[in-house]
Amino acid sequence: MSDQRVAVVTGAARGIGAATAERLARDGFAVAVLDLDEAACEEVAGRIRDAGGSAVGVGVDVSDAAAVAAGVARVADELGPPVVLVNNAGIIRDNLLFKMTEADWDAVMDVHLKGAFLMTKACSAHMTEQRYGRVVNLSSSSAQGNRGQANYSAAKAGLQGFTKTLAIELGKFGVTANAVAPGFIQTDMTRATAERLKVSFEDFITHTASTIPVARVGQPEDIAATISFLVSEEAGFVSGQVIYVAGGPLD
């Protein structure tokens, strides 16, 4: 253990989570890389350590209370008490409402909402004890509604309400809570959406970029940069906010 502040990033084996873990390590945090597959987590943690940072990979199912408790306890033991939490873990089970199964609905709610609840409850115990903390929840522009994503949209909208409530409850302990709502980001998840729509990922990106004011799609590093600010010392008066990082205003 060192005097470094410790950050936990869920869903960090790839995409936005991996980019965020690596960015926070460059910012000086010791980083716990959490995802389902511990070997995949260790790949990201290994890159951080190779670059001179401090990191550990921990396999955790964020929807499982016992796994979350054990994972956070391990982070506290190996790195120190976590004072930054980025709830990024997420899955999609897209389908039109009449085709969507109960299992599809439950799986998305369990990972996004229950997972954020369990992780925040476990990590905030350390934050309140330290009288300092930062929580960032990953919402989405889909929170405003998106065809074929009734489950995902509902979960991402729910995370916004969860975030605002955390800000109210935890503020007196020196803990801020904010949400980042990405627009189209080039990741494996958006590739899966293209596959569902039966279009090539390249065409999907080209078409989407043409609808975005900045004329490009987002990259995981765009989201990581916003999170970097929100977990910084300087962001201590920013709490309960939802920041859309989408390349332009949304309707």
Residue reference for tokens 């869920």: 10
The per-residue DSSP string of 151-169 comes to HHHHHHHHHHHHHHHHHHH
Say if CB 104 and CB 93 are below 8 A apart. Answer: yes
Mapped onto helix, strand or coil, the DSSP state of residue 95 is strand
Rounded Cα–Cα distance for residues 112 and 88 (Å): 8
In 15-31, which positions are buried (b, 16+ CB within 10 angstroms) versus exposed (e)? bbbbbbbbbbbebebbb
- Which candidate in 29, 117, 132, 152 is catalytic? 152
Say if CB 18 and CB 97 are below 8 A apart. Answer: no
152 tagged catalytic: yes
3-state SS track over 30-57:
EEEEEECCHHHHHHHHHHHHHCCCCEEE
Task: List residues with catalytic annotation.
Answer: 152
